[in-house]
DNA sequence: TTTTTATTTTGACACTGTCAAGATTAGACG
DNA sequence: CGTCTAATCTTGACAGTGTCAAAATAAAAA
């Protein structure tokens, strides 16, 4: 108990838990996030969280789902700007990488094996991720019409492939394989060149 | 002790450990690989492995390093074929994805956060990964000369960016985000189209 | 054969997720 | 107001983890 008004009944543990968990996550990474430490931080006994989240897995899913909501909101904000289409795409790529960079641990939960492979994604999480991806695909379709992204294939394929590329870049950054900021920046720029339909000086 | 001739001195624990660890890895994933279970499988006491590997981390690094060697050997084999340059690149991409797919857990160790971020990569591992990457870059240079990969940027940048793309695809497959084989296949094909210099029907 | 060195083991510690059973309290109903 | 019920939280316990220190064993060197 790291000090807290002891009232037996906490009030709203659920949101307190998510908040505290997010903090630990940001500061110490997912390795530093244990249910016991979390409970202690909130000022509650070890097993109290288990009455609000069936599992540690479920807690993580909740955080990840919130991450998808945040990511989607960011996209919507960008889409409501009156920028040129290609420039917006440019901005999106940087925004995507920046999100992954600043919210590393959340990003890892959203797209990492811990939940999707080792654990079991909540149906709420699945829905959130699907919706975010759908919003992306809708935009890809438009980007194809605007001749920004290639239209040699369906929006789904182009959307999948280009997203996979962004994801790969994000992972290299997140997982500590590329730590050099300059490299990431230059790699991002190069990737944009590759993704965008208009190739510079072909032939 | 899962049965084994008990001779107190094992003979060559080191390689036995790596072999057994690789098996557990393939069958149960890294989550199922504990030092104690490993020791038991080899027929030795809990802490015996610690006289050959300082850490669990070091054990994992050894496996990862072997993975890099294997990956590099595969590349060399491919490069010794007398195929057309573009076709070889095509083959490489499929080979890369296939490697990640069939050796999921090893791939995850090689490029995952467990070692590179959470843990600390052995200098031997660092060397192995650097060398593998260098071999890739050398080939990229040649691919640029052959007009297969774009030459709008240095071999380093083009190599980094295109590798990041492949990595992203691999991760989606490995981490259980895309389970559908057909999707991966089609995504791979689309990605190749994007990576390769000659854009189909531009303008 | 004795001594040194290389291996391996037993004991211990602090930590993890989570289950079962009991304690405490808030809110609903009279 | 008092009583009952349902929600909420706690204590105890178990099996599992990585890894350190000290003791036991065996092989190699003298």
- pLDDT-based confidence at A198, cuts 50/70/90? low
Confidence band, pLDDT 50/70/90 cuts, at residue A120: very high
Whether residue A117 and residue B169 make contact (CB cut-off 8 A), yes or no, is no
Q: What is the mean pLDDT of residues A108-135?
A: 98
pLDDT at B202: 39
The answer to whether B202 and A196 have CB atoms below 8 angstroms apart is no
What are the φ/ψ torsions at residue A76 (nearest 5 degrees)?
-60, -40
Cα–Cα distances in angstroms (integers) from residue B42 to residues A75, A86, A166, B15, B56, in the given order: 52, 58, 42, 11, 15
User: Rounded distance, CA A11 to CA A52, Å?
Assistant: 12
Checking each nucleotide's C1' against the CA of A49, the nearest proves to be D9
User: Which of these, A111, A158, A190, A110, lies nearest to B171 by C-alpha position?
Assistant: A111
What class has domain B63-195?
mainly alpha
pLDDT digits (tens, 9 = 90+) for A141-184: 999 999 999 999 999 999 999 999 999 999 999 999 998 999 99
The domain limits of chain A are 1-53, 61-195
Of A158, A183, A187, the CB nearest to B190: A158
DSSP string, A55-70: SHHHHHHHHHHHHHHH
Topology at the third CATH level for domain A1-53: Arc Repressor Mutant, subunit A (1.10.10)
* CATH T-level assignment (fold) for domain A61-195: Tetracycline Repressor; domain 2 (1.10.357)
Q: With a 7 Å cutoff on the CB, does B24 touch strand D?
A: no
Residue A137: how many other CB atoms lie within 10 Å: 17
The mean of the pLDDT values for chain B is 93
Distance from CA of B195 to the nearest CA of A (A): 7
CATH topology match: A1-53 vs A61-195: no
Q: Is the CB of B52 under 7 A from strand C?
A: yes
* Site from B109, B168, B192, B201 to mutate, A interface, most A CB atoms within 10 angstroms: B168
Sign of CA dihedral A101, B151, A203, B95: negative
A33, A57, A194: which to substitute to probe chain B, counting the most B Cβ within 10 Å? A194
């Amino acid at each position: 108990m790291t000090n807290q008004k002891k009232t037996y009944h906490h009030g709203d543990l659920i949101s307190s838990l998510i908040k505290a968990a997010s903090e630990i996550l940001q500061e110490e990474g997912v390795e530093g996030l244990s249910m016991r430490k979390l409970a202690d931080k909130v000022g509650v006994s070890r097993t109290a969280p288990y009455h609000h989240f069936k599992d540690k897995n479920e807690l993580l899913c909740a955080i990840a789902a919130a991450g998808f909501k945040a990511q989607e909101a960011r996209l919507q904000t960008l889409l409501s700007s009156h920028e040129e289409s290609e420039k917006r795409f440019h901005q999106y790529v940087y925004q995507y990488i920046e999100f992954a960079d600043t919210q590393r641990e959340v990003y890892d939960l959203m797209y990492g094996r811990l939940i999707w492979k080792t654990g079991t994604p909540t149906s709420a999480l699945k829905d959130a991720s699907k919706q975010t991806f759908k919003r992306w695909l809708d935009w890809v379709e438009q980007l194809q019409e605007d001749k920004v992204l290639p239209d040699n294939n369906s929006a789904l394929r182009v959307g999948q492939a280009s997203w996979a590329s962004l994801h790969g870049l994000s992972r290299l950054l997140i997982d500590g394989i590329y730590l050099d900021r300059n490299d990431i920046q230059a790699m991002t720029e190069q990737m944009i060149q590759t993704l965008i339909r208009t190739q510079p000086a072909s032939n």
